[in-house]
Amino acid sequence: MTNAVDIPVSETMTRTLVTVDSSATLGDAAKLMHEHKIGAALILEGGRLRGILTERDVLAAVAAGGVEASSVADCMTPHPETIEPSDSTAHAAVLMIHGGFRHLPVTEDERVVGMLSMRDLVRVAIVDEAPRGV
């Protein structure tokens, strides 16, 4: 039996990527994230990762006011931390906990190939657990 911490990120990450243009309005980006039921969207430029827009970025912009005039570029987190598909989920968890973020783009040869979320890591950790009452 494989220990959950030994599982490579490639087996856990989400391969469907939601991207948004840096010039998009914050409102349009938030709508897109809501429609896809995701907590983070990637900002790519020429196929390379330029930034990430997270729920926290949107919330910070709302708290600061002036959301209508804000673009994704104004609010995104530029040059986010990344991880490689071959890295372990344990390594990803350490990066996410110490960095204080819940989404981690997965890159290979400077190309984004997936996204790993805290929810993905929780699924790995409880894969053998059954919900109460079952």
Q: Are 44 and 89 in contact (CB under 8 A)?
A: no
d(CA 94, CA 103): 12
Q: Is residue 50 part of a domain?
A: yes
- CATH for 53: 3.10.580.10
Answer yes or no: is 134 within a domain.
no
Is-contact 48 13, C-beta < 8 A? no
132 inside domain: no
Number of domains observed in the structure of the chain: 1
* Alpha carbons 67 and 81: distance in angstroms, whole number: 25
Residue 20 lies in a domain: yes
> Under 8 Å CB-to-CB from 51, ≥6 apart: which residues?
22, 42, 43, 72, 73, 76, 77, 78, 79, 80
Residue 130 falls inside a structural domain: no
Task: Give me the domain span that covers residue 10.
Answer: 4-125
pLDDT in tens, 49-91: 999 999 999 999 999 887 878 999 999 999 999 999 999 999 9
Question: pLDDT (tens digit, 9 = 90+) per residue, 113-123?
Answer: 999 999 999 88
* Model pTM score: 0.86
